[in-house]
Amino acid sequence: MASADFIYSSDPGLTIGFHGCSQKLRDDVVTGKTFLHQSNNPWDWLGDGIYFWQNNYDRALHYANNPSPNVRIDHPSVIGAVFSLGNCLDLTDKKYIDLLKYSYETLDQTAKAEGTELPSNVNPKGLEKSNDKIIRRLDCAVIKNIHKQLKKLGEPPFDSVRGVFFEGDELYKGAGFLDKTHIQICIRNPNMIKGYFVPRRVVKWP
């Protein structure tokens, strides 16, 4: 029986994610004055969508305090969100990893036939020796190609994309763990987001 015949690739539950932003944006979203907008940069790691760190408040706060060079965040803060993944392009699932590879191969074949070059994943100036390659134009193009091909075929679109990223420096010499490893979720369908909240601190109990 093919793996596609099983029903376990879609997470049926709700997930909590965190988004680093300004305190004003957090408050305005929570009170319904505005909403989070999709990111659609050609270097976004998981393609177009609203980005969250899965169950990772500290990583979201770290980003708010250390945003990308072209982003300014006044009064860094974190907003929480509760969402479902829906039809998820889950890059922790082998069949979707295989789909990603196939998407790359089709793009590569097209580029060679047209005599063009695919974009690359690169590091920004000053971080050329980093292994992270945080400007991910190639990955973004490969993921967006999946969405494009599904639309052409008339197939249901993916509501979200999830990926695990092994990022940063070794925790200790010879470690298999990196200090910025995280799970990132990109929500494409805003209807997957069930609500926003201001993260609260632990209270003493009992």
pTM for this prediction: 0.91
Average pLDDT score over residue span 95-102 = 97
Q: Are 10 and 88 in contact (CB under 8 A)?
A: yes
- Which residues is 121 bridged to in the sheet? 136
Q: What pLDDT is recorded for position 119?
A: 97
pLDDT above 90: percentage of residues in the chain = 87
Give the whole-angstrom CA distance, residue 93 versus residue 171.
26
Q: Is the pLDDT of residue 4 over 70?
A: no
User: Please, which residues have CB within 8 angstroms of residue 173's CB and are 6 or more apart in sequence?
Assistant: none
**Residue 16 β-bridge partners:** 82
C-beta separation of 184 from 163 below 8 A: yes
Instruction: Give the residue ranges of DSSP H helices in the chain.
Output: 23-30, 57-65, 94-114, 137-153
Distance CA 155, CA 192 (A): 18
Q: Which of 75, 83, 87, 32 is nearest to 54 (CA)?
A: 83
What's the confidence (pLDDT) of residue 1? 37
What is the reported pLDDT for 110?
A: 96
Give the number of other CB atoms < 10 A from CB of residue 47.
25
DSSP letter (8 states) at residue 11: -
Indicate if the pLDDT at residue 184 is higher than 90. yes
Confidence category of residue 128, pLDDT binned at 50, 70, 90: confident
pLDDT tens digits, residue range 15-54? 999 999 999 999 999 999 999 999 999 999 999 999 999 9
Provide the token pair at 105: 């191969």
d(CA 200, CA 177): 29
Q: Are 118 and 108 in contact (CB under 8 A)?
A: yes
